[in-house]
Chains A and B, each alone.
Chain A
Amino acid sequence: MFRLARHLLHLIVSPVLNGGRYLIAGSWKRGLALLVTLALAAVVGGLMFAWLGLASVSARSGHWPVTEWFLHMAMRNAVETRSVSVKPPLTLDDPKLILKGAGHYETGCSSCHASPGKGQSLIVQQMTPMPPVLATRIKEWTPEELFWIVKNGVKFSAMPAWLAPEREDEIWAIVAFIRKLPELSSEQYEHLALGTSASGWRQNQEAGLLKGLDDPLGPTLANCVRCHGAKGEGRGPSTIPILAGQRERYLLESLEAYANGERKSGIMQPIAAALDDQTRRELARHYASLARPEPAARVSEQTEAIQRGETIAQYGVPRQGVPSCAHCHGPRQTPRNPIYPDLSGQHADYLTLQLELFKSQKRGGTAYVHLMHSAVRRLTPEQMSDLAAYYAAQTVEASQ
């Protein structure tokens, strides 16, 4: 055994020494040849090492300090270099962005990165590299760098890439939220990411607004409630839609479109894909049966934006090639295809965002979505927000 080792050592060391000697002696060509042979031997040796199963892939021991240093150095610099061209939106302090990001943090990040009031899972702590407690790391990065990491993920670690990379608006919502992480108390976090506090949950349940946990839909709804509100009423002004009173067929086909990737959203796709057909049908029926809340503003208020929006919605802008919206979305006396969604009383910010997404063709949707691509193609941003203001102020009864 010992002799074998000595032999091996000799085999490796002597060419190096010899190579050096040859180089010094002036015959650099022979020296070079030897070094190349050596390099090849190292590669083959490495391959053998891995092939024979000698490399340690155990996560238990962590990385060698040098490996860890190297990987982090490479990651840090890659993120820095590659995020140069990233442009952040105007405001990252928008509470609507933060609210939306919070909901998804609870779905998709907290299990690895911990959240205020809830320490890191022991299981996650056995990972190599171990996901950091994110709150402690935020200060290390600029918003652009955080955006790049969340969008692209990190290779050789478990950090996943964003499911719908075209939905950069969602990624910015996550960044807006995680920038607030270090200063959040556990109550604040619970409010943002879980919505109803525990007591609110109980009240709602007693009032019969929530299905109990014994109802087959109960546990699933408990999740939807976090973002869409206990009664599907949405959560404050935000870009999370109101579901209550939406048309059943549209809800169902939208959930299917998320599940099969036809509609793009890093937030809703994973949730919808985890539901089975039956549950999706029941959820659609459930939300369609709830009453849509009264809109915050009223069409009768007739602000200028609402008036302009009403004119476009009713008559379109023919010279600009914009069709009227009312023929498909109401308000109209005539019946409408049940897959055309109801927009009345929906959050204005959600409507504006969807119109922008249709225009840039980043939204996707059901088999009917191309109708919207042609409807919004020539709308200006001002017209979009006027239309959103109008439909947000419309009551459901008026639209049917």
Chain B
Amino acid sequence: MTLYTSRQIGLNGRHGGMIAPVIAVGGCDLHGPQSALSPAGVGAEQISSLFWWMAGGAVLIWAVVIGIALYATLARPRKKHDVQGARWLIIGGGIVFPTVVLTILLSYGLMLIPKLRSTGNVDLHVAVSGEMWWWRVRYTSPAGEPVELANEIRLPVGKRVSLSLTSPDVIHSFWVPSLSGKVDMIPGRENTLILEPTKPGTYRGVCAEYCGASHAFMAFRVVVMEPQDFEAWLTHQAQPAVSSGSPSARQGEQAFLVNGCGACHTIRGTAADGRVGPDLTHVGSRLSLGAGMLPNDAQTFARWIGHTQQIKPEVRMPSFGMLPEEQLTALATYLSGLK
């Protein structure tokens, strides 16, 4: 199996910023594609600096309080403190000092909120729907047409992007630790998350709210690109599918239609117009397969189609392992060629 291991995923990201330093001490990678501690977006930067300030404040309070405690028990001052002085040490060091530090941190944290939540000045809107157990992604093409994609989000660096987050089934939570905090996707409600990526690169996002058997296999890639590359990418994604046209690919296209894959999947430019599963128009161009589960190559396509249920528990796509071997191969050739 080429499933991503927890090490590749980066434990630090999965379990959130709070325990990350503990693991970091143990030698884990702070700079993985899914780490809240190596921010690549404005939201994540704020969260990360808040985290470091919080950690600093906590260390400070801890040091002062423990310092006074050690002083009280171990130190042997030549001249004893009078009662008044001792009381000041206790009240000052144990109550006043921590209260002041915590109040400052709290105010700082509260001050960040409006900025994190402000939805003004957005350059791009993307709709993301969390579905058991994959992501439906809707862009508006440069020509103004809606473009439906899946399991991968690409963003222009330095632009403010507004994501509207929904779910048709159960509660999911959208989280790209490197870019921002997480926001729940709640059936019957639309939540907004602003992303403002600052560093080009490929990041990993996950569902952060238990949503059923394959919750742990519900991930996606976020690729932050230079704006002109992004434009080119989106223009290409808005185009109908282009198949390589090799005999095997043509046989695969035929098998796709004949076996009814089109009941659930759309491949623009063909008769397949199903809307239950991910759009596959350019599935071969994605960085992963099965919502972040498998690498994207012809072998994994064949495995996915033939062993869907074994690979992803309870997945809402039936396995097509009963198809003849050559049809599976042809399907894999065709789909992996849809760049």
The residues of A with any CB-CB pair to B shorter than 8 Å are: 315-316, 318-319, 321-328, 332-337, 340, 367-368, 370-371, 373-375
CB <8 Å contact, A327 and B316: no
Number of chain B residues whose Cβ lies closer than 8 Å to a Cβ of chain A: 22
CB <8 Å contact, B263 and A328: yes
CB <8 Å contact, A323 and B322: no
Identify which of B171-179, B253-261, B330-338 touches chain A: B253-261
Residue among A323, A325, A367 with the highest chain B CB neighbour number at 10 A: A323
Known contacts A318-B276, A334-B258, A373-B318; is A324 also within 8 Å of B263 by CB?
yes
Task: Give the residue of B254, B258, B274 whose beta carbon is less than 8 angstroms from that of A323.
Answer: B274
Q: Report the 4 A-B pairs with minimum CB-CB distance, sorted nearest first.
A: A328-B260, A318-B275, A327-B263, A323-B263
Can you name the residue of chain B whose Cβ is closest to the Cβ of A368?
A: B322
Give chain A residues whose Cβ lies under 8 Å from the Cβ of B276: 316, 318, 321-323
Q: How far is the CA of A315 from the CA of B272 in the complex (A)?
A: 11
Give the secondary structure class of B's interface. loop
CB <8 Å contact, B264 and A323: yes
Give chain B residues whose Cβ lies under 8 Å from the Cβ of A325: 263
CB <8 Å contact, A316 and B274: yes
CB <8 Å contact, B271 and A333: yes
Can you name the residue of chain A whose Cβ is closest to the Cβ of B255?
A: A337
CB <8 Å contact, A335 and B318: no
- Is B39 an interface residue, CB under 8 A from the partner? no
Give chain A residues whose Cβ lies under 8 Å from the Cβ of B95: none
- In the assembled complex, the CB of A339 is this many whole angstroms from the nearest CB of chain B, namely 9
Q: List 30 A-B contacts (CB under 8 A).
A: A315-B275, A316-B263, A316-B264, A316-B274, A316-B276, A318-B276, A319-B168, A321-B316, A322-B276, A323-B263, A323-B274, A324-B263, A324-B274, A327-B257, A327-B260, A327-B272, A327-B274, A328-B260, A328-B263, A335-B258, A336-B260, A337-B258, A337-B259, A368-B322, A370-B319, A371-B318, A373-B318, A374-B316, A374-B317, A374-B318
- Is B262 an interface residue, CB under 8 A from the partner? yes
Give chain A residues whose Cβ lies under 8 Å from the Cβ of B271: 332-334
- In the assembled complex, the CB of A391 is this many whole angstroms from the nearest CB of chain B, namely 15
Can you name the residue of chain B whose Cβ is closest to the Cβ of A320?
A: B168
Known contacts A321-B316, A323-B263; is A336 also within 8 Å of B322 by CB?
no
14 extra A-B contacts, CB within 8 A, seeds A323-B264, A327-B260: A318-B274, A318-B276, A321-B169, A321-B276, A324-B263, A325-B263, A327-B257, A327-B274, A334-B271, A335-B254, A336-B260, A368-B322, A370-B318, A373-B318
Residue among B168, B263, B272 with the highest chain A CB neighbour number at 10 A: B263
Give chain A residues whose Cβ lies under 8 Å from the Cβ of B169: 321
Q: How far is the CA of A328 from the CA of B265 in the complex (A)?
A: 13
Within 8 A of A (CB), among B220-273: 254, 257-264, 271-273
CB <8 Å contact, B260 and A340: yes
Q: How far is the CA of A185 from the CA of B174 in the complex (A)?
A: 70
The residues of B with any CB-CB pair to A shorter than 8 Å are: 168-169, 254, 257-264, 271-276, 316-319, 322
Q: How far is the CA of A326 from the CA of B258 in the complex (A)?
A: 11
Can you name the residue of chain A whose Cβ is closest to the Cβ of B277?
A: A323
CB <8 Å contact, A327 and B262: yes
- In the assembled complex, the CB of B259 is this many whole angstroms from the nearest CB of chain A, namely 5
Task: Give the residue of B257, B261, B263, B322 whose beta carbon is less than 8 angstroms from that of A375.
Answer: B263
Give chain A residues whose Cβ lies under 8 Å from the Cβ of B254: 335
Give chain A residues whose Cβ lies under 8 Å from the Cβ of B273: 324
Can you name the residue of chain B whose Cβ is closest to the Cβ of A336?
A: B258
- In the assembled complex, the CB of A310 is this many whole angstroms from the nearest CB of chain B, namely 15
Give chain A residues whose Cβ lies under 8 Å from the Cβ of B318: 370-371, 373-374
Can you name the residue of chain A whose Cβ is closest to the Cβ of B270?
A: A334
Q: How far is the CA of A374 from the CA of B318 in the complex (A)?
A: 7
- In the assembled complex, the CB of A314 is this many whole angstroms from the nearest CB of chain B, namely 10
- In the assembled complex, the CB of B275 is this many whole angstroms from the nearest CB of chain A, namely 4
Q: How far is the CA of A286 from the CA of B175 in the complex (A)?
A: 59
Give chain A residues whose Cβ lies under 8 Å from the Cβ of B274: 316, 318, 323-324, 327
Task: Give the residue of B257, B275, B319 whose beta carbon is less than 8 angstroms from that of A334.
Answer: B257
Q: How far is the CA of A117 from the CA of B288 in the complex (A)?
A: 71
- In the assembled complex, the CB of A316 is this many whole angstroms from the nearest CB of chain B, namely 6
Give chain B residues whose Cβ lies under 8 Å from the Cβ of A327: 257, 260-263, 272, 274
- In the assembled complex, the CB of B263 is this many whole angstroms from the nearest CB of chain A, namely 4
CB <8 Å contact, B322 and A367: yes
Q: How far is the CA of A371 from the CA of B274 in the complex (A)?
A: 15
